Amino acid sequence: MLLAASALLLGIPAAATAYASSATTGTGWIRLAHLSPNTPAVDVYLYSFDNSTAMIVLHHVAYGTVSPYESVPAGDYSVAMRAAGASAASQPVLSTSVTIAAGHAYTVAGMGPESGLRLQVLDDQLTTPSGQALVRVIQASLKQQVVNVSLGSTTLASGLKFATVSSYQAVSPGTKTVTVSASGTTATSSVTLAAGTVHTLVVLDGASGLEVISLEDASGSGQPPLGGVSTGFGGTAAHGPGSPVPWLVAIGAGGLLALTGGLRLRRGRQLSAGI
Amino acid sequence: MPTRRPAAAFTLAAGLVVIAGATAGLLLTRHPTPAMRPVAAGVAALPAPTGPIVAPPQSSAPKPAAAPVLLTIPLIGLRTSLITLGLTSSGALQVPSSTAVAGWYTGSPRPGAIGSSIIVGHIDSISGPGVFFRLDELTRGDKIYVKRADGTLVEFRVTSVQSYLKDDFPTEDVYGPVPDAELRLITCGGAFDAATGHYLSNIVVYATETS
């Protein structure tokens, strides 16, 4: 109950994080990845729901490859994988559908062993807690099926199984050491995480032992400026009519002056008439 | 007392002149000054700058982008060097001290790197147009070029132009993380509040690196 309530509470701001740039233009982002260690290179196709001509084709995508994000109109898509070099008209080895919401980002990755290969759709986060970085781990090592991953002294994932993904974790920014340990083997690498960035660490089977790659998924201003920006002095702005008060005061003063003059003139005439 | 008569007549005449002058002044200043608008047809579009355009970044091998030094928007005849900007002591975004140049917020990603890079410039000075005077003429698809310190050029395409009340500035939309190389150009717009000396709105141009 409490959990459901907090999920609901969390869900509201999450739904409101669609970006003006993409929300108003109705676009989201997608990237494609091959993370199945014993599957040969593939061609990856992205189709818009109502179009049989591929929108994006990535050729000869080998294990460990993650494409850059592509900005696409929000809507329903399908992702298909074919053996590298296979005809675009041939039956795909694998396909899945993905709904892209405006202002949201997704990773569609071929994961698992070749015998159980599947396309997994990951919902990628685009907001970070103020002044912090977000990190998650994709476990794509078949040789070491269970790994522990830490960042400095922070545990990012423990007992993370092959072909699974950890949840995001907020960490303080800085350059840190990633340590991946499995039974009898350890791999380390250094990553720099700036405030306001989102990262995905991918654990791979390397030529000799484990390998870790760090992907910067998204980045913004680590310290967002407060409020709007003061970028104008009004020299080209429309101005309303100025206050009429100074003019009215001047008219009044003129009236007093004229009145004084007139009265003196009259008195002068009376005096001369009297003589 | 015949000597008093010319002085009195002069006072009367002076009073009448003041009344006439002030009345004319009052009547002549009763209409508003319209906003200065750009004469689009009069300004020739600049040629697009030349230079090596580097490929969009690959997530798997992020290349460090050099700092931006020059901003060009041929369509509105804009070409400006870029200064660097930080935050004020109150946490607001600094603005260029000159209304003739734009500046890049060093706390934002560099143009062409993943993320939303921030460049701001003035719409006007107290007397005339500033560097971003014609920013709100941009529409979707227009090209923006940023030259970087290493001589490379990044090309962006406008995706959207928005106006926001400063009191309701969408901080997360403008400064928050995005997963591709984007650019935000910010200036002032909307109504000008003569009492505070500030515009009430900000214009934000959203652009994405062309791939």
Chain B residues closer than 8 Å to A13 by CB: none
Interchain CB contact of A245 with B (< 8 Å):
no
Hey, what's the torsion of the CAs at A109, A113, A117, A120, to 10 degrees?
A: -30
Instruction: Say yes or no for a CB contact (<8 Å) between B14 and A261.
Output: yes
Interchain CB contact of B196 with A (< 8 Å):
no
Dihedral pair phi/psi, residue B28, rounded to 5° = -70, -25
Instruction: Say yes or no for a CB contact (<8 Å) between B14 and A256.
Output: no
Q: In chain A, which segments carry CATH 2.60.40.1120?
A: 23-124, 127-221
Higher pLDDT, B57 or A106: A106
Interchain CB contact of A74 with B (< 8 Å):
no
Instruction: Say yes or no for a CB contact (<8 Å) between A229 and B194.
Output: no
CATH code for the structural domain at A23-124 = 2.60.40.1120
Question: Quick check: B120 and B183 in contact, CB under 8 A?
Answer: no
| pLDDT per residue as tens digits for the range B73-124 | 999 999 999 999 999 999 999 999 999 999 999 999 999 999 999 999 999 9
**Mean pLDDT, chain A, as a whole number?**
88
pLDDT over 90, % of chain B: 66
Higher pLDDT, A249 or B167: B167
Pick the CATH number of B40-209 from 1.10.3720.10, 3.30.300.20, 1.10.357.10, 2.40.260.10: 2.40.260.10
In angstroms, the CA A104 to CA A189 distance is 29
| pLDDT per residue as tens digits for the range A29-87 | 999 999 999 999 999 999 998 888 999 999 999 999 999 999 999 999 999 999 999 99
- Is pLDDT above 60 for B38? yes
| pLDDT per residue as tens digits for the range B142-200 | 999 999 999 999 999 999 999 999 999 999 899 999 999 999 999 999 999 989 999 99
Question: Quick check: B83 and B103 in contact, CB under 8 A?
Answer: yes
Half-sphere exposure for A228 (CA within 13 Å, toward CB): 22
Question: Quick check: A157 and A139 in contact, CB under 8 A?
Answer: yes
What pLDDT is recorded for position A247?
77
What pLDDT is recorded for position B143?
97
Q: Work out the average pLDDT over A132-141.
A: 97
Question: Quick check: A203 and A210 in contact, CB under 8 A?
Answer: yes
Instruction: Indicate the pLDDT class of residue A4, thresholds 50, 70 and 90.
Output: very low
Residue positions counted in chain A: 275
Higher pLDDT, B185 or B6: B185
CATH class of A127-221: mainly beta
Q: Which two tokens stand for residue A118?
A: 């599947």
Residue B191: Cβ within 10 Å count = 12
Higher pLDDT, B1 or A147: A147
Interchain CB contact of B43 with A (< 8 Å):
no
- Is pLDDT above 50 for A177? yes
What pLDDT is recorded for position B137?
95
In angstroms, the CA B11 to CA A260 distance is 7
Instruction: Indicate the pLDDT class of residue A267, thresholds 50, 70 and 90.
Output: confident
Interchain CB contact of B120 with A (< 8 Å):
yes
- Is pLDDT above 60 for B210? yes
Shortest CA distance from A216: residue in chain B: B59
Instruction: Say yes or no for a CB contact (<8 Å) between B198 and A232.
Output: yes
Dihedral pair phi/psi, residue B5, rounded to 5° = -65, -45
Higher pLDDT, A2 or A241: A241
In angstroms, the CA B35 to CA B138 distance is 19
Instruction: Indicate the pLDDT class of residue A274, thresholds 50, 70 and 90.
Output: low
Q: Which of A61, A219, A260, A266 is most worth mutating to test chain B (most B CB atoms within 10 A of its CB)?
A: A219
Chain B residues closer than 8 Å to A239 by CB: 32-33, 192, 194
Instruction: Say yes or no for a CB contact (<8 Å) between B35 and A238.
Output: yes
Instruction: Indicate the pLDDT class of residue A275, thresholds 50, 70 and 90.
Output: low
Residue ranges of alpha helices (H) inside chain B are 4-28, 171-175
* ipTM value: 0.76
pTM value is: 0.79
Residue positions counted in chain B: 211
What pLDDT is recorded for position A130?
87
What pLDDT is recorded for position A244?
77
In angstroms, the CA B107 to CA B55 distance is 23
What pLDDT is recorded for position A70?
92
Interchain CB contact of B89 with A (< 8 Å):
no
State how far the alpha carbon of B14 is from the alpha carbons of A109, A262, B6, B11, B185, in Å: 90, 11, 12, 5, 57
Instruction: Say yes or no for a CB contact (<8 Å) between A65 and B164.
Output: no
| pLDDT per residue as tens digits for the range B40-76 | 544 556 777 776 655 443 444 556 789 999 999 999 9
| pLDDT per residue as tens digits for the range A51-65 | 889 999 999 999 999
List, as ranges, residues 1-40 from B with C-beta within 8 Å of A.
1-2, 4-5, 7-23, 25-26, 29-36
Instruction: Say yes or no for a CB contact (<8 Å) between A235 and B128.
Output: yes
In angstroms, the CA B2 to CA A81 distance is 114
